[in-house]
Amino acid sequence: MLKKMGWCLLTLMTSLSVQANDKAVIGSTANMYVSHAELPYVARIDTGAVNTSLHAIDLKVEGGSAKNMKDNIGKMLSFTTENGQGQTKRLQAKIVKTSTVSNSQGTETRYMVDLDVGFKGKERKVRVNLRDRSHMDYKLLIGRNWLKGRYVVDVADKKYIGPVAPISIVESGMMFKTRIDTGAVENSLHAVDFKIDNEDSDMEKNVGKVIHFTTENEKGESKVVKSRIVETSLIRNAQGSEVRYMVELNIGEAGEEYKVKVNLRDRSKMTYKLLIGRNWLQGHYIVDVSM
């Protein structure tokens, strides 16, 4: 009997694990779209909120508003919404429900409407409560009614990135069409014409010194970059092994760069002049090769 119960428990746990794995991962914020408004929003993903909430002001019930908000259910409501970039749109939707929300400021009753919300091109209908969020950082809040059954939330805020992505290197002032390579431990940047201040023939003795090198992106744009050698790296590949200098550069999606170690090598014969490895991806990105 105990053996049978144990088997049933194992089966149940496996089933729950499979169900969880079937759900997509979403971070604590996401770029969302409200198709009725034709506006993009940076949305806060909030598992503490039952319902999704959208910034709305100047609410007007068509035909006049009844004193009791519940008596307006079924009527058309017009309102103005605004995203984080200051873009506004006047919308119209049918009131489908009212919602009483309790928070640190007390309780308030809000109108609820059905809107298509989600990633652009993949929006789906969800019930949304309307409130003035003008003093809040996020004009769209995604609640459990949008997440349930479809998403798990990763508060580490990992984002998805494809096998090729446009990546910026701040020190070069250039964008690179970049290969995202989970098989590579380190990032690698095309670099030629090395000039090291007080260079020594022993590479290890150059660690800590300033290095100047020329890099180039796939468009043929080039720039001389100045950095400091932080260490050397022994790289093994199909051609054998080689020692490369490593520097720290600010690398990332435009406006979201962060400092990371990069090894320098001549990649002139390679399609991608910048290769992103696990030391840039780890803790920040999930790679989706279908993107």
pLDDT digit string, tens, across residues 1-51: 544 444 444 444 444 333 445 788 888 889 999 998 999 999 999 888 889
- Tokens 């009844």 label which residue? 66
Tell me the two tokens of residue 61: 């019930």
CATH domain 24-153 topology: Cathepsin D, subunit A; domain 1 (2.40.70)
Domain boundaries, the chain: 24-153, 159-287
Residue 218 has pLDDT above 90, yes or no: yes
pLDDT score at 106: 72
pLDDT in tens, 57-70: 999 999 999 999 99
From its phi and psi, is residue 141 left (phi > 0), alpha (psi between -120 and 50) or beta?
A: beta
pLDDT score at 153: 79
pLDDT score at 141: 94
pLDDT score at 75: 96
CA distance 177 to 73: 52
Q: Which CATH architecture has domain 159-287?
A: Beta Barrel (2.40)
CB 180 within 8 A of CB 288: no
Residue 239 has pLDDT above 80, yes or no: no
Domains 24-153 and 159-287 agree in fold? yes
From its phi and psi, is residue 240 left (phi > 0), alpha (psi between -120 and 50) or beta?
A: left
